[in-house]
Chains A and B, each alone.
Chain A
Amino acid sequence: MFAERVGHLALQQLDAAGRWALFGTRAIRHVGAGGALGARLARAIFELGVRCVPVIVIVSAFAGLVLGLQGHYVLSRFGASGMLGTLVSLSLCRELGPVLAALMIAGQAGTALAAELGIQRSTEQIDAIELLDVCPEGFLAGARMLSSLFVFPALTSLFVIVGIAGGWLSGCVLMPQDPDAYWSAVHSAIKGRDVFECLLKAGVFGLLTTALCAYQGFYAHRSGEVGARAVGVATVRGIVLSSIAILVADYLITAILL
């Protein structure tokens, strides 16, 4: 009985993973469906990117400020306070920047995407698009997924830059660190491969987040609930699964590239 349940659950998850992969593939393959790709890309960049700038700036500034304070406290105990720039920049560039930026964008734009598609499903708008002989996955999710490959790396870069500035503010302005030593350490610490890892992670997280949130909204009617509840469930699942996927992908990419 227990084994049967586990097996059933495993099959269900495999089925969902397969559907998700098909959804993502169709979305990218038919990204031009319905025309006006340029306008849809611009709108997606605005919704995913521009609208998320304030939250990215605020979160990255405070992440940098905390890193600067903690770094100063820990490093000065070992007489290595000159390494603050290295600590802040590498932490932000290799790990914190991509992960925190992706979580923030998933929280703001991912949930909005899942809810929007969920409502479009429950009001038959997706059926209406399908009946125009337009691939609804490509029309509704394709441009968003494509734009995430640009938006996530761009916002992650912003996150890292503002975070490093935050580290300088707390370490060198509020605490007695040498600013020249800080910026010199930042400059020498970040190598090309660190930037590559940062941008690669951001791109992968972007694709995962938009595909997961869009999938949850698109298939909201299969969530086991109906109407507004189905939209709620899709939104929650979108953010939860995106967060998990970001952390799992982060570990895998780090393990492969290290």
Chain B
Amino acid sequence: MTPPPSDNPPILEVRHLRKSFADRTVLADVDFDVPTGAVVSILGRSGTGKSVLLKCIIGLLETDGGHVLYKGESLKLPEVRSRLRQSSSYVFQQNALFDSATVFENVLLPLRARGKGTREEWEVKVRKVLARLELEESSERYPAELSGGMQKRLAVARALVTEPELVFFDEPTAGLDPLRRNAVFSMVCELQRERGFTAILVTHDVQEALVVSSRILWLDAGRVRFNGEAASFEASQEPELREFRDNIEALRATLQKSRSSHSPTL
């Protein structure tokens, strides 16, 4: 499908990206743009290379071919890669919180690493973001002492404290129950509107992706099978896309039925 035109210039351009592990091709020829200020959700079945794609973009995995441009410059250049890392954040699927540091220190580290400003300014920013994500009272606790939802919020707090212009979310709701999942999605949505960052979101959840995203990217068999606005994705009658949506919806319905009666808070 042809993506709809976008007024905003692309912050990221992914061109013919390829990645294989041994003899298994995960990304065959991935090509897409991320317009500045957009929320792009990457959807696809498990094992289609969604997380691999994010890691290839940010440079945690070496690609076998193709390239990624950040504001028109190749990320193969170390200084461009460094600029991207300075102005972006990454929320890991398993959070990747620093387990020997407190909640406060976890959020402080990105500010200290960038080295801009004074210690007092950093502390003000940390307290502000912790308050915004309702983690203020847990600031002296360690990640292992937090619930799954709180850990996820901490990961988001750590990602947003530097006020990045681009945020990568790798399955931010993985392992959370439906209520917590909704809460995390609404929080991401709200924060994106508030701060206006560009977001790339890897998720399985079609419904939430449709609510949160301005654009949808559907990966299948290592290729981009759909790249366009969320409304077009929803309306698309392409047989494979419909099958994917129906399968996800069926799974969602099953999950809703088996949802326990208790209502945990995030």
Contacts and interface: CB of A to CB of B under 8 A. Distances in A.
A39 to B, nearest CB: 10
Contacts of A33: 113
B99 interface: yes
A82 B98 CA distance: 58
Interface stretch (A59-67, A126-134, A141-149): A126-134
A132 B109 contact: yes
B113 A125 contact: no
Interface stretch (B38-46, B86-94, B204-212, B241-249): B86-94
A123 B85 contact: no
Contacts of A131: 58, 60, 85, 88-90
A35 B112 CA distance: 6
A35 B115 contact: yes
Nearest to B162: A132
Interface string A119-163: 110011101101111100000000000000000000000000000
B90 A133 contact: no
B110 interface: yes
Contacts of B100: 116
Contacts of B115: 35
Interface in B88-135: 88-90, 92, 94, 96-100, 109-110, 112-115
Contact of B60 (A36, A120, A130): A130
B113 A132 contact: yes
A134 B98 contact: no
Nearest to A132: B113
Nearest to A116: B100
B99 A123 contact: yes
B contact patch SS: mixed
Contact of B82 (A124, A125, A133): A133
A128 B94 CA distance: 11
Given A35-B112, A133-B82, A133-B113, A128 B99 contact: no
Nearest to B105: A36
A35 B117 CA distance: 13
Given A36-B112, A133-B82, A127 B60 contact: yes
A196 to B, nearest CB: 37
B136 to A, nearest CB: 22
A29 to B, nearest CB: 15
Contacts of B113: 33-35, 132-134
Given A131-B60, A133-B85, A124 B96 contact: yes
A34 B113 CA distance: 4
Contacts of B88: 131
A34 B98 CA distance: 13
B115 to A, nearest CB: 6
A43 B187 CA distance: 36
Given A132-B85, A133-B85, A123 B112 contact: no
Contact of B109 (A34, A116, A127): A34
A124 B92 CA distance: 8
A124 B94 contact: yes
Contacts of A124: 92, 94, 96
Interface in A1-51: 33-36
B53 to A, nearest CB: 15
Contact of A128 (B82, B90, B114): B90
A133 B94 CA distance: 20
Interface in B10-69: 58, 60
A132 B109 CA distance: 9
Given A128-B92, A128-B96, A131-B60, 18 more contacts: A33-B113, A34-B113, A35-B113, A35-B115, A36-B112, A116-B100, A123-B94, A123-B96, A124-B96, A125-B97, A131-B58, A132-B110, A132-B113, A132-B114, A133-B85, A133-B86, A133-B113, A133-B114
Interface of A: 33-36, 116, 119-120, 123-125, 127-128, 130-134
Interface of B: 58, 60, 82, 85-86, 88-90, 92, 94, 96-100, 109-110, 112-115
16 contacts: A34-B109, A34-B113, A35-B112, A123-B94, A123-B99, A124-B92, A125-B96, A125-B97, A127-B60, A127-B92, A128-B92, A131-B90, A133-B82, A133-B86, A133-B114, A134-B113
